[in-house]
Structure 1
Amino acid sequence: MNASTQEQSLHIATLLLRPLIRLLVHKGVGLAELVELSKRVYIEQAAEQLEREERRITDAALSTLTGVHRKDVKRIGAEAPLAQTERRRKSLLDAVMSLWSGDARFIDERGVPRVLERRSTARPAQAETFEDLIEEVTKGVPPKALLDAWLQQGAVTIDDDGHVRWAKPERAAGEELQSMTRSARIAADRMQASWEILHGGGESPGHFLFSVRGEGLLDEDVARLHGAVRRWGRRFSDRLNREVTLAQARGRKAGGTQRYSFGVQSYAEPVRPDAWQLDETASPRKAVAAQT
């Protein structure tokens, strides 16, 4: 790898590390923990590269490829692989909100989460209730206990008619990191899709990447763009979520093994007026210096 390619690769790493390090600092995760994790990921990815190239996977080869000391390679090789420790179960709220926004029984004619009656009465309800929604996901937790907790946290609200409305699920206890995990997964999938498109070889595996960028915009134009994405992006995401919910149901019956993801973001930040005029092909080191 030549120096220019190495610098560009480090520039990509810098872009990805900044929001990650911000989270780690906020949550009190120190450098030592990140360094140890980085060693494990380096070794994991180096082993995969050697396997793809049909080369022997040895401690010496892994150490040479990664720069990780051979004794650390040996130690980490004896530990459980990361793949066994990174799996997580959906939180209860995550599962409930996924059903509420994707299942035809719980959405309205516009495809958005429907306002729900709180509980089923003695007479058959005309439509599924909040109680039905909870019991579809779990029968081990009383719906009223969940409703009270989520009301207090602002995840749901009760309107003047006593119906339950979707509010801000990310406010619920423990959901901040769940939300960040979902965002990290989407970001990782986007990077992986880009890698597969560029290096997968043969026919396209079906991954798609779309992006739109603009620089030097006015505040009012950014606000208008955010509004457009909220309308169009949410409309499309809700429709796609319904399709994914149906696909999951079919997959559970037929033993499906594929994981799928899709993400939309609308993001803006202020920059120095001259910063966006920098030549993006220039050395990352020079670009950083020009923006400081």
Structure 2
Amino acid sequence: MTTGTDDPFEAALAALLAPLAQAMVARGLTLGTANEALKKALLEAALATSEGKVSDSKASLLTGIHRKDIKRLRAEESEGPPRRSVNAAALVLSYWATAPEYQHKNGSPRDLPRSGSKNSPGFDELVRQTRADMAPGTVLQALLGQGAVELQEDGRLRLLTHTLLPAAGSAEQVAAYQATLSAHLAAATQNLLAGNGDSRNFDRAVRYSHLSPASVEKLHRLSAQKAQALLEEINAEARALQEKEAESSFDGRFVLGAYILPSPGGTSEEEEET
């Protein structure tokens, strides 16, 4: 897709970059860092969407990157995008909250000893079952440190939350930021580039303005409750399906996300529902 002076995507690009720029400034990243990352991304996109071999000159023409930079970037060892693995601690929480062997009959998660038995598995068995790439003790320290798990007087471990919220500014939060936003942006971009008759990803939002702070807070609470319930339901179903297919060679991936932006007193927009 080419852009021109009348292409609305040019105006959209500035709005899309605004929150990213805010995060960059807050973390001390400058234009040089962003420029290098953008060059790499543009080159990867040009190579991925072009048929046949792409010369340095053609790549430069498609991206606007100088041929010297194209040559340098192509000469660098290509490690490819890092494989996104589910955070081990979050994966353990997911299993603990949804797997039947870790729940009471009423569906609530059991308190777990560090080491259990064949008929009553404990925390160490839980970590091994999730195939997390971290030792059980390391995962436990992470969960205790983030307040997701509590050590009881009898030595058992109690699950306090089904959701892991990384510490502000931590490497875990940055990883979640990347995974969440890149998945949503990929889904929206696929829709943007889809041709007539092509299937499109589900991507919907509800937007309202001219609301009082009380109304915004009411909608915030309602949305958070319903979104959390949906995520927990899909999480349980996905875990069960993955367990059934544990010995298969399938590599399909699925992402469901949810976000809420309560902003009383924010920029006024026309009321719309999409």
> Is TM > 0.5 for Structure 1 vs Structure 2?
yes
Equivalent position of 1:187 in the other structure: 181
Equivalent position of 1:117 in the other structure: 112
Q: Percent identity?
A: 23
Post-superposition CA distance 1:37-69 (Å, at most 9, x none): 110101111222323xx6x51211111121111
Describe how 1:40-79 pairs up with structure 2 within 5 A: 40-51=40-51, 57-79=54-76
Over 3 Å counting, the alpha-carbon distance change for 1:253 and 1:18 in structure 2 is same
Describe how 1:240-279 pairs up with structure 2 within 5 A: 240-271=234-265, 275-277=268-270
**What SS is found at the alignment partner of 1:276?**
coil
- The structure 2 residue matched to 1:221, chosen from 215, 232, 248, is 215
**What SS is found at the alignment partner of 1:216?**
coil
Post-superposition CA distance 1:82-122 (Å, at most 9, x none): 6x2422443331331232244333356786x7242334568
**What SS is found at the alignment partner of 1:170?**
coil
Cα distance between partner residues in 2 of 1:86 and 1:71: 26
Describe how 1:1-292 pairs up with structure 2 within 5 A: 1-5=3-7, 8-51=8-51, 57-81=54-78, 84-107=80-103, 114-120=109-115, 125=120, 128-137=121-130, 141-143=135-137, 146-158=139-151, 163-167=157-161, 169-171=164-166, 176-201=170-195, 203-205=197-199, 207-271=201-265, 275-277=268-270
Cα distance between partner residues in 2 of 1:121 and 1:253: 24
Over 3 Å counting, the alpha-carbon distance change for 1:271 and 1:80 in structure 2 is farther
Q: Which amino acid aligns with 1:114?
A: P
Cα distance between partner residues in 2 of 1:46 and 1:91: 31
**What SS is found at the alignment partner of 2:202?**
coil
Over 3 Å counting, the alpha-carbon distance change for 1:121 and 1:41 in structure 2 is closer
Cα distance between partner residues in 2 of 1:153 and 1:12: 38
RMSD of aligned Cα (Å): 3.3
Cα distance between partner residues in 1 of 2:188 and 2:144: 41
Q: Which amino acid aligns with 2:89?
A: L
Q: Which moved more, 1:35-44 or 1:226-235?
A: 226-235
Q: Which amino acid aligns with 1:199?
A: L
Q: Which amino acid aligns with 1:118?
A: P
Cα distance between partner residues in 1 of 2:207 and 2:106: 29
What TM-score, normalized by structure 2, do the two folds share?
0.79
Cα distance between partner residues in 2 of 1:140 and 1:87: 16
Equivalent position of 1:281 in the other structure: none
**What SS is found at the alignment partner of 1:190?**
helix
**What SS is found at the alignment partner of 2:50?**
helix
Contact 1:157 1:166 in 2 (8 A): yes
Contact 1:156 1:165 in 2 (8 A): yes
Cα distance between partner residues in 2 of 1:70 and 1:139: 41
Over 3 Å counting, the alpha-carbon distance change for 1:175 and 1:22 in structure 2 is closer
Tell which has more relative contact order, 1 or 2 (C-alpha 8 A, sep 6+). 1
Over 3 Å counting, the alpha-carbon distance change for 1:129 and 1:229 in structure 2 is farther
> More helix by proportion, 1 or 2?
1
Q: Which amino acid aligns with 1:23?
A: A
Cα distance between partner residues in 1 of 2:38 and 2:227: 34
Post-superposition CA distance 1:205-238 (Å, at most 9, x none): 4621221111122111111111112221111111
Q: Which amino acid aligns with 1:3?
A: T
Q: Which moved more, 1:114-123 or 1:223-232?
A: 114-123
